[in-house]
Amino acid sequence: MTGSGEFQPLWPRALRPGDLVVIASLSGPLPAVYEPHIRQTVTVLERMGFRVRRAPLLEPERSHWWSAATPAEIAAEFNGLLRDPEVRAVIASDGGQTAFGYLDLIDMAAIRADPKPILGYSDVSLLHLALYARTGLVGFHADMAVPGFGGHWQTASAARRAELESLYFRLLTGAGAIGALPAGPAWECWRAGRTEGRLVGGVINRIALVQATRFAVPPERFDGAVLFWEEMGGHSSHVWSYLQVMRHAGILDRISGMVVGIPREIAGLESPGASPTLAEIVLDVLGDRDIPVLGNVEIGHAGPNLPMPVGIRVALDARQRTLSLLEPAVRAHPATGPAD
């Protein structure tokens, strides 16, 4: 699956201690009750050695309908961060329902000129998919401020927090590949096998929906890819339907493996007998496609998140329950030399 003409992603520039990271409202509003999550996120990032700033739209209770602001306002602020050479990474404050409203307003040229890590999941996974489709940008399907760094991380054990902090720091700053992600006790082999390929994925409904737009991931980007997805809310039948959409779109015929996140608040899954399990749903839609499937991985709403950098090569061994990042998610900037 590898050749001289293989697609090459656009890697963000590696961060260095002292670099500026901005927390921004890329979708939903910030309820006042979650303000402590923002403060905790600042603490976590500063402990990693970064400077942290809040973008102006990140104000408690500021909102427009279900969004932090209008799509045009969010896009304007986001583009300003993309164009600002001092800003070295953008972390979403939360998910929501807004990114579809400004995909056509994003300054793609600014991303190509100065690629930066963009972190977030939920609605933010739509940004990762669209930007990967248009520019090749490696996007970080990873924790954000609410409830990630500021919530889920704070309820984890001290050892787990230290493990995650080291993992994220290496991911954002290191020139070397991470290797095996720390496996959790919930990981399950749903279909055995081993493969290598580029990570592509996000929230399953966003994967299905973006493919109906002009920001769709080109079909060939799924050739040999390891598809990862997770979901929150809705019904188990919705998950089955989204997988069927990807089957009809030909995605399931192109991928070489699948990683499924821990489901959260999906109606039906808690009622054995009334609904199939998530593994049964996945295997039903896959049919006789003999690809490895690893389930119940900590990616997405169940949190704390293991980072899934869209576009980098990974090795998946479902039987052994291992997932390894085979290449760095960032690259050193030519003007600065090797990353630390």
- The helix/strand/coil state of 43 is helix
Spatial separation of the C-alpha atoms in residues 268 and 126, rounded to whole Å: 26
* Residue range(s) defining the domain that contains residue 275: 179-325
Q: Which residue has the higher pLDDT, 332 or 211?
A: 211
Query: Which residue among the candidates 128, 141, 152, 301 is catalytic per the annotation?
Result: 301
Q: Are residues 114 and 193 in the same domain?
A: no
pLDDT tens-digit series, residues 226-275: 999 999 999 999 999 999 999 999 999 999 999 999 999 999 997 767 78
Spatial separation of the C-alpha atoms in residues 311 and 45, rounded to whole Å: 24
Q: Are residues 243 and 151 in the same domain?
A: no
Give the per-residue pLDDT at 4: 38
Query: Which residue among the candidates 67, 93, 122, 275 is catalytic per the annotation?
Result: 122
Tell me which of 144, 173, 202 is where a domain ends: 173
Q: Are residues 169 and 211 in the same domain?
A: no
**Token pair belonging to 174:** 């290191």
CATH number of the domain where residue 136 is located? 3.40.50.10740
Q: Are residues 167 and 229 in the same domain?
A: no
Q: Are residues 117 and 193 in the same domain?
A: no
Residue 193 has pLDDT above 90, yes or no: yes
Q: Work out the pLDDT band at 132, boundaries 50, 70, 90.
A: very high
DSSP 8-class letter at 200: E
Domain assignment of residue 221, yes or no: yes
Number of domains in the chain: 2
Spatial separation of the C-alpha atoms in residues 165 and 177, rounded to whole Å: 16
**Percent of the chain clearing pLDDT 90 (strictly above):** 92
pLDDT tens-digit series, residues 146-180: 999 999 999 999 999 999 999 999 999 997 999 99
Give the per-residue pLDDT at 6: 77
| Angle, vertex CA 333, rays to CA 329 and CA 334, nearest 5 | 135
- For residue 6, what are the CA distances in angstroms to 196, 284, 291, 299, 336? 14, 32, 22, 27, 27
**What's at 282, amino acid-wise?**
V
Give the per-residue pLDDT at 5: 57
Question: Quick check: is 301 catalytic?
Answer: yes
Give the per-residue pLDDT at 338: 41
Residue 3 has pLDDT above 50, yes or no: no
pTM (2 decimals)?
Answer: 0.95
Question: Quick check: is 165 catalytic?
Answer: no
Query: Which residue among the candidates 27, 93, 230, 298 is catalytic per the annotation?
Result: 230
